[in-house]
Amino acid sequence: MEEPPARLTTKPSWLLSQLAVHAHRLTADGFAAAGARGYHYRILAALAEFGVASQAELGRRCTMDRSDVVAAVNELAERGFVQRTPDPADRRRNQVTLTQTGENHLRQLDETLDRAQDDLLGPLPDADRQTLIRLLGRLLAHHQRG
């Protein structure tokens, strides 16, 4: 591969975009090998952390479009990872619950994602990884307030 211009390689925006491509590939490949997608992980993680939620709540919490949430929840329900039931307070709305099978699958996906993170951050010692995570989190929080 030819080397890019130095003007690019010194710009954080360029570096972050290039790393994002690699990070996406690593996680997508890992999830695919586990029979999952990133959307599945987001939904399972949200349910594990925050409990039962409507599909609309999952969309907001996971920053997913409503149609993507519906498709992902359908896929997860077909595999027994979540259970969808009508909301007793509003029968037009579904409540989504994580099943024990879903919790087990989430643990497998956690391991998959951890391996992808290790691959992505391989050359960095642990202290540098923690610093990078802290700095990226600070930047993201700043721009989300924005």
What is the mean predicted confidence (pLDDT) over 99-104? 98
Element (H, E) at 118: helix 100-120
73 within domain boundaries: yes
Identify the CA nearest to 64 among candidates 49, 46, 78. 46
Averaged pLDDT, 89-112: 94
Q: How many folded domains does the chain comprise?
A: 1
Q: How far apart are CA 27 and CA 109, in angstroms?
A: 10
CATH of the domain at 93: 1.10.10.10
| pLDDT of 93 | 87
Split at pLDDT 50, 70, 90, the class of 98 is very high
Does pLDDT of 146 surpass 80?
no
pTM over 0.95: no
Q: Work out the mean pLDDT of the chain and round it to a whole number.
A: 95
Q: Where are the beta strands (DSSP E) in the chain?
A: 53-54, 82-87, 90-98
Domain assignment of residue 8, yes or no: no
| Pair type for strands 53-54 and 82-87 | unpaired
In this structure, is residue 18 part of a structural domain? Answer: no
pLDDT bin (cut points 50, 70, 90) of residue 88 is confident
Give the model's pLDDT for residue 31. Answer: 97
Q: Which domain holds residue 78?
A: 25-120
Domain contains 76: yes
Residue 140 lies in a domain: no
Q: Is residue 146 part of a domain?
A: no
